[in-house]
Chain A
Amino acid sequence: MKETELDSSKVAERSRALFAAGRAVQVGSDRGFPPTPPPSRGGPRRALTGGALGTLALVGWLLLRDRPVAPPPPPTPSRSMSAPRVDPPPPTALPTELPTELPTGSLAPGVTRRPAARRQLADAPASPSLPDAPQPGTLEEQVRLLSSALHALRVEHDAAKALGLLRESDARFPGGEFQTEVGLATVESHRALGDPDEALRALERLTSVPPARQPELTVLRGELLAAMKRCGEALPLLESAASAGGTVGERALLGAAGCEETRGDEARARVWLDRYERTYSSGALSGQARALRERLGGGSPGE
């Protein structure tokens, strides 16, 4: 049994190392994307490429149709490019929404295949080949607690109830499957309760956050410090997160503008706000940006 646990932890450790390696790949926005605006459709190069690829596809198919090849991609869901739509939400109750298919691909000799999810959740013991598998029943309970907490927080707007559920989750499943999510929801709950001190402490307690989520934590830390009127500490964090782009960048720019307003430096606040409006004119926080602009007085940069 000990040997199995050791093996399982080796697989989990190897997986974590591989994911960490994958996260370090330099991606588009790290390199200052976008390079050029989209061109008009068609063009000789595209036609040539398309024709060449078509020929290659035909040749490849003729050459390789009788040879074993890599497993073909499984049937894809019905989402199509021509009619983008959101999949209908699956049923909410567990375990009826759990997938039942077995993994695709072959397994190495001696490796046992994982039982179907529904069966595994109901009564099967964890397979020795699968690391970090929670005991039957605990996964549903972890999901239930976290889902209830997030529902209380975001739908019922009852942060105190959410906090109770999250504490229960923490106590019952220390180091559980969704530790990071529980931690972040705890931060969010304290924040919603108007307690940035406690939110910051909860944030500092988070230890297992993937590196790729660090910008989000940086901006969150900056926002909490700003809410505590500690703008001297908040501004460097917000400034560093401002270049992250996306939601994080948007929050950082607006947070920095708000911080400068708190410090009474309206000129600097306008600089941040101008930068916000250039990048996120119709962003999710544009209403708050407009309100800040009105407080600061003066027109928007485009006026």
Chain B
Amino acid sequence: MRSAAPVLGAPASTEVPSLAEVYRLHAPAVARWATRLSGRSQDTGDLVQDVFLVVQRRLSSFRPGQASLTTWLFLITENVVRNHRRRTRLRGWIFGDRPPALERADEGRTPAEHLEWQRDVRRVYQVLDRLRESDRTLLVLFELEGYSGQQAAELLGLKPETIWVRLHRARQRFHDQLVALEPELLR
């Protein structure tokens, strides 16, 4: 019997995998990260394409012994999404805010419930956007994507105990910023 459940099954290989193999194994994960980090499901395709364009350029310089492929891909995704968010913010300043067209995973909601859900999703990203990047990323992974502390630690290349302390602080900052946006919560 296995003694411990595997976490983020990155193959422990010393060989650099081919682009096709990386894409086949990791594109779904990259798509999930991109959607969660950006909060805009309609941009996922473009973001994944951008990530794999970077992967295509950099794969030959990837050193499997230095970092796991999953961590490497996540860092690229994080960077691509960050740049994308900057561009989106700029477009918002010039052309006005364009609310994301979000799709909900589960069906069977009334239009009113759907509207309320969309407002909540916008709010959660509005609060996340007021946090520093490291807090934002951690909360996205832990609270939205449902990663365990161990998984988040592996992905970010940190120790689990560090992750938990950072998570605790990030949650506090999230609460602070939420209260700043919704002061009525303290009334």
> Known: A27-B35, A246-B29. Is A111-B179 also a contact (CB below 8 A)?
yes
A217 to B78, CA, bound (A): 27
Please name all residues of chain B whose beta carbon is closer than 8 Å to the beta carbon of A206 when the two chains form the complex: none
Contact (Cβ within 8 A) B143 A210: yes
Contact (Cβ within 8 A) A284 B6: yes
Contact (Cβ within 8 A) A143 B161: yes
A24 to B118, CA, bound (A): 10
Q: Which residue of B lies closest to A98 (CB)?
A: B165
> Known: A14-B178, A17-B120, A110-B183. Is A286-B172 also a contact (CB below 8 A)?
no
Contact digits for B111-129, partner A, Cβ 8 Å, 1 yes 0 no? 0000001001101110101
Contact (Cβ within 8 A) A38 B49: yes
Contact digits for B33-52, partner A, Cβ 8 Å, 1 yes 0 no? 01110010100110011001
Nearest-neighbour CB distance to chain A for B55, whole angstroms, equals 7
Could you say which of A35, A108, A245 contacts B45, with CB atoms under 8 Å apart? Answer: A35
Contact (Cβ within 8 A) A59 B94: yes
Q: Pick from A67-75, A233-241, A292-300 the stretch touching chain B.
A: A67-75
Please name all residues of chain B whose beta carbon is closer than 8 Å to the beta carbon of A133 when the two chains form the complex: 172
Nearest-neighbour CB distance to chain B for A28, whole angstroms, equals 2
Contact (Cβ within 8 A) A181 B149: yes
Give the size of the chain B interface in residues (CB under 8 angstroms). 115
Please name all residues of chain B whose beta carbon is closer than 8 Å to the beta carbon of A29 when the two chains form the complex: 28-29, 31-32
| Main SS at interface, chain B | helix
A76 to B103, CA, bound (A): 30
Judge whether B79 is part of the interface by a CB distance below 8 angstroms: yes
Could you say which of B30, B39, B93, B172 contacts A64, with CB atoms under 8 Å apart? Answer: B93
Q: Which residue of B lies closest to A178 (CB)?
A: B164
Interface centre among B28, B159, B183 (most CB of A within 10 A): B28
A103 to B130, CA, bound (A): 9
Judge whether A267 is part of the interface by a CB distance below 8 angstroms: no
Please name all residues of chain A whose beta carbon is closer than 8 Å to the beta carbon of B110 when the two chains form the complex: none
Q: Which residue of B lies closest to A17 (CB)?
A: B120
Please name all residues of chain B whose beta carbon is closer than 8 Å to the beta carbon of A85 when the two chains form the complex: 66-67
Interface centre among A38, A86, A101, A114 (most CB of B within 10 A): A38
Contact digits for B148-162, partner A, Cβ 8 Å, 1 yes 0 no? 111000001111111
Please name all residues of chain B whose beta carbon is closer than 8 Å to the beta carbon of A213 when the two chains form the complex: 146, 148
Judge whether B16 is part of the interface by a CB distance below 8 angstroms: no
Nearest-neighbour CB distance to chain B for A292, whole angstroms, equals 13
Contact (Cβ within 8 A) A105 B19: no
A60 to B157, CA, bound (A): 36
Interface centre among B7, B32, B144, B157 (most CB of A within 10 A): B144
Judge whether A263 is part of the interface by a CB distance below 8 angstroms: no
A147 to B87, CA, bound (A): 40
Q: Beyond A14-B185, A26-B35, A178-B149: 6 further Cβ-contacts under 8 Å?
A: A22-B144, A25-B102, A27-B35, A28-B28, A33-B27, A188-B4
**Can you list 23 A-B contacts with CB-CB less than 8 angstroms, sorted by A residue number?**
A19-B124, A19-B139, A21-B121, A22-B125, A23-B143, A26-B41, A28-B30, A28-B35, A29-B28, A34-B48, A38-B53, A73-B82, A84-B62, A85-B67, A104-B130, A111-B180, A114-B173, A143-B165, A146-B161, A153-B4, A181-B164, A192-B4, A227-B1
CB-CB nearest 3 A-B residue pairs: A28-B31, A212-B146, A86-B157
